[in-house]
Chain A
Amino acid sequence: MTTDGAVLHALAPELERIAEEPYYHAAGGEAALFEAAAVKRLPVLLKGPTGCGKTRFVEYMAWKLRRPLVTVACHDDLTTADLVGRYLLAGEQTVWLDGPLTAAVRAGAICYLDEVVEARKDTTVVIHPLADTRRVLPVEKRGELVRAASGFMLVVSYNPGYQSVLKEMKQSTRQRFVAIDFDYPPPEVEAAIVARETGIAAETAEALVRLGGLTRNLKGQGLDEGASTRLLVHAGHLIAAGVPARSACEAAIGRALGDEPDIVASLDDLIAAVF
């Protein structure tokens, strides 16, 4: 059994400790708000379009607050068991394995549920008792009530731009959180971020950011979203690796944003206009 135990131990979710300061360019008072929420043990909701820096912000805060970080990317098949834990078979016995949420609750970590609206509605309900003053996680299968360690903090993110009723957050869930708004940074800041992340020249970064702005103008005209900061960074990396600017943008931005030939052609037009 000891060998089985060792295997299981290796299977237990790993808590990420962020040793080096992640690069994060503050847009306003979000870090101070987050810290205050951490002190007062309030859960935090990060709202904003995809690729604008929400995940990076959480990593930065985890580093700053010196807490382990557990990140769960939510999807529509995510079940309660995936978050809380499940019994596994070891030989002829069953062994309990904590899910990432339970592990974070016990260890006093920051648990970050990325794109929480993607998860099934019945799944999100398990976070309710964690997100109010009770700060407990009921583990039904074990009949256990796990009390959150003092450092535990629940952070969820969601993208209000989806506009889909199926992807809306229930009031009963959202009204438990302190909400922080995120958006793409102002052009100068965004250019500085792109330049810093990729090491490309400032003028090239500015051109990429200008292109980002043009694609965001197309939102709702066949595009669900314009190019995110993340996509601009991808394009910057390709350029830094020696790919010509136009090809880099067509691959990292044009093709990434749309599939329809018409839309891709329009994006290529904008790329050709900028470079």
Chain B
Amino acid sequence: MSRFTVAELRERVDRIFYFDVSSGRSYESLIDALALLPRAKQDFALHWAAVAAQTHLEIGYLVILQAAEALRRMAPAAAEGWVISALDAYDASGIRAAVARLRDIDGFLAASGEPGSRLSLAAVEGRLARFLQGLSGRPLRVAAGEVPWTDTETVFVPSGIDAGSPEASLAAYKAIVGLLWGQTRFGTFNADLEAAFTQAAGEPSGERHDRARNWFPALEALRLTACVARQLPGLGRDMAVLTADLPTDLPGVREDLARPEATVAASLDWLSRLLDRAPPPGGLRGEVRPVAAGRVRSERIGRDTEILRKAIAGLMAALGRQGAGDDTMDIALETGSLEVELSVDGQVVSLPPEGRAAAESLVQDLGLIPPECMTPAGPGEWKPTDRQDPGPTATMETHADALYDEWDARRGAYRRQWCHLYLHRVAPGDPAFVVDVRQRHQPLIRQLRRRFEALRGEDRILRRQPDGDDLDLDALVAAIGDRRGGAEPGERLFLRRSRTERSLAAAFLVDMSGSTKGWVNEAEREALVMLCEALEMLDDRYGIWGFSGWTRTRCDLYSIKDFDEAYDDRVRGRIAAMEARDYTRMGPPIRHLTRLLARQPARHRLLVNLSDGRPDDFGDEYRGHYGVEDTRQALLEARQAGVRAYCVTIDRHGADYLKRMYGPAAYTVLDDVRKLPLKVADIYRKLTS
């Protein structure tokens, strides 16, 4: 293929960008950058610029300007990674970070290294998170950061490590998270570090202060490696690489900090004696950030104290005591294992799990449980937290109940923690709606119930089995007859009872977007009433949710009926109150229900999705191809998780995207909304019989 001419390039660039010359950018610089490249590189640059421009024009612009340089220095596959890392940086921190990432080809190459030996955080994130969960028992998130550090709740580690081989890179990751976990576990933040730096340096800022700040992580690394090695020798060995670069002529430092009784105070003591020397570079040891860590830590201490006090109050109430007044309460600590033993008047009592976790967390933060934490809280419902499971982790500030990745088909990659899902309950509406539907559709409901009744699992008796609960007398008589007559008697002489159990959980996900307003919403609600009436004939576990939303930062999921809830007046009221709201971003609710379904104790899991057309959300980005592809991806994920998805959609135009989008699931298109109420129950019956 011959390379594009200037005129052809102008036309193609024109399709991607629509900024005007006054913005300080001109097509000419872009075309100049492309004109002399071979066709394959032109194609690469134009393709990825188009992809990137859909996220931000500036990124697309830079991709073209930098493409020649990037492709000179790396293979196209690596260069794709370079663009995607910039898009990830944009998602995480905005346009500045993305621009910096694109310009820093050196940095990207350094971080990515030789293919095969570099390990990216994305590849081991889950593994490290579980490793930390195992070590600490309290949640510690893993996230990418410029340098390793921790705020005591999130551990920031490099987005990629190249230590020569994947094994060595993994060991380096484990060493880093081990060190950062050690900081939270063995009390690095259990002192006023800023004040200590100032005291050691004799100045609140300046060179000596900086030296104190930079020596401290190295000293702590020595101390913590020794602490960890005492309990976890294997991890201690991995962590030894973190301090291998420290000068060998530090008389007495290593020995002193390796003492079992050495605390953070010991590291601080050494600071003033080392300030004449230049501190070693942080490297994999990273930094200690006292202010950020202190804020998070004190919030957690407050929270844990509250939980512990409430737990103790609950315990005292259970013991039949009012206040702490004349009781002697004692907490015994097993510092090695964090075991906390609470005794009241010399008698050992056991805290509820939440209280115990809070107490253990306090011991990790404070080294002890201060007396004020042990005064029972005033009366009040024992409610540790409404949100036990925060869902996937995020570094971004959010109050969402869960965060979900979203598939960006243009990039061919997930946008991490992209969608913020909020869970709501619908306030019950007028139950008269349900009464009315029941009356109007009385004969139909009766018919549906009869059909559903036939689905119930029942005992069957299997005859002529080789083994079983009882003798099959018919078979026995025949066998005796055979034997008397000289024939070979049969051996299958038993009856066996076999039960065909329906082990099934179903979730119904109903579109509550603005476009359903009117007939569709009405039909959906009617469909739900008839479905519930029919499902009451079976023991299947089922739940109903509605969804709507407005952009990725507000995806709403409304719970109408949980799996465990009975179909009662409250549920009927909620069905009546379902109303058309905003937009249709289908990925997050599908992913959330997949997760809920996966937890259901059933052999078969079914997700039925009712909607009125293609996924749609505010803003051009999601509409069309992007939304269709993400929904398809969410359905694929559901299938991988063992959830069978079925989509019922009302679309008079029978659009072509349906086949693509619902490909991973099965689906039905209804051309008439009036068919919906009967159809949903019928589909369910067919799927489960």
Contacts and interface: CB of A to CB of B under 8 A. Distances in A.
Interface of A: 79-82, 86-87, 89, 92, 94, 120, 141, 163-167, 186-187, 210, 213-215, 217-218, 221-222, 246, 262-263, 265-266, 269-275
A275 B174 CA distance: 14
A275 B470 contact: no
Given A89-B493, A92-B480, A166-B503, A270 B134 contact: yes
B126 A262 contact: yes
Interface in B478-504: 480, 493, 497, 499, 503
A102 to B, nearest CB: 15
B339 interface: yes
A269 B127 contact: yes
Given A217-B134, A270-B134, A273-B178, 12 more contacts: A141-B470, A187-B339, A210-B337, A217-B135, A221-B133, A262-B127, A266-B131, A266-B134, A272-B238, A273-B232, A274-B232, A274-B233
A80 B174 contact: no
A222 B232 contact: no
Contacts of A167: 601
Interface string B196-240: 000000000000000000000000000000000001111100100
Interface of B: 126-127, 130-131, 133-137, 174, 178, 231-235, 238, 334, 337, 339, 469-471, 476, 480, 493, 497, 499, 503, 541, 564, 601
A15 B131 CA distance: 47
Contacts of B231: 210
A86 B134 contact: no
B601 A266 contact: no
Contact of A217 (B137, B480, B493, B497): B137
Given A79-B469, A217-B137, A275-B233, A270 B503 contact: no
A89 B470 CA distance: 11
Nearest to B231: A210
B234 A272 contact: yes
A187 B130 CA distance: 22
Contacts of A270: 131, 134-135
Contacts of B493: 89
Q: Which 5 A-B pairs have the closest CB atoms?
A: A273-B235, A164-B601, A266-B130, A81-B469, A217-B137
A213 B232 contact: no
A141 B470 CA distance: 9
B469 A94 contact: no
A272 B471 contact: no
Contacts of B238: 272-273
A273 to B, nearest CB: 4
Question: Is chain A's interface secondary structure helix, strand, loop, or mixed overall?
Answer: helix
Contacts of B178: 273
Nearest to B471: A87
Contacts of B133: 217-218, 221
A9 to B, nearest CB: 20
Contacts of A89: 471, 476, 493
Contacts of B476: 89
B234 A213 contact: no
Nearest to A76: B501
Given A86-B470, A92-B480, A272-B234, A215 B497 contact: no
10 contacts: A79-B469, A141-B470, A187-B337, A217-B136, A262-B130, A266-B127, A266-B131, A272-B238, A273-B238, A274-B234
A80 B131 CA distance: 46
A129 B447 CA distance: 42
B135 A222 contact: no
B130 A222 contact: yes
B130 A263 contact: yes
A185 to B, nearest CB: 12
Nearest to B138: A217
Contacts of B235: 272-274
A216 to B, nearest CB: 8
A236 to B, nearest CB: 18
Output the residue of B127, B131, B135 with the most chain A CB within 10 A. B131
A187 B232 CA distance: 15
Contact of A94 (B233, B337, B471): B471
B471 A265 contact: no
A19 B409 CA distance: 70
Contacts of B480: 92
A270 B133 CA distance: 10
A275 B134 CA distance: 15
Contacts of A218: 130, 133-134
Nearest to B132: A217
Nearest to B174: A269
A186 B356 CA distance: 14
Nearest to A245: B234
Output the residue of B134, B137, B238, B503 with the most chain A CB within 10 A: B134
Contacts of B601: 163-167
A122 to B, nearest CB: 9
B130 A273 contact: no
Which of A186, A263, A266 has the largest count of B CB atoms less than 10 A from its CB?
Answer: A266
Contacts of B499: 120
B126 A87 contact: no
A273 B135 contact: yes
Contacts of A213: 337
A80 B469 contact: yes
Contacts of B564: 165
Contacts of A215: 134
A266 to B, nearest CB: 4
Contacts of A164: 601
Contacts of A262: 126-127, 130
B211 to A, nearest CB: 33
A191 to B, nearest CB: 10
Given A266-B130, A266-B131, A270-B131, A81 B470 contact: yes
Nearest to B469: A81
Nearest to A273: B235
A273 B232 CA distance: 5
A166 B541 CA distance: 11
Given A164-B601, A222-B130, A273-B232, A186 B339 contact: yes
A88 B670 CA distance: 59
Given A81-B469, A89-B476, A166-B601, A221 B130 contact: yes
Contacts of B127: 262, 265-266, 269
A275 B232 CA distance: 7
A193 B112 CA distance: 49
Contacts of A210: 231-232, 337
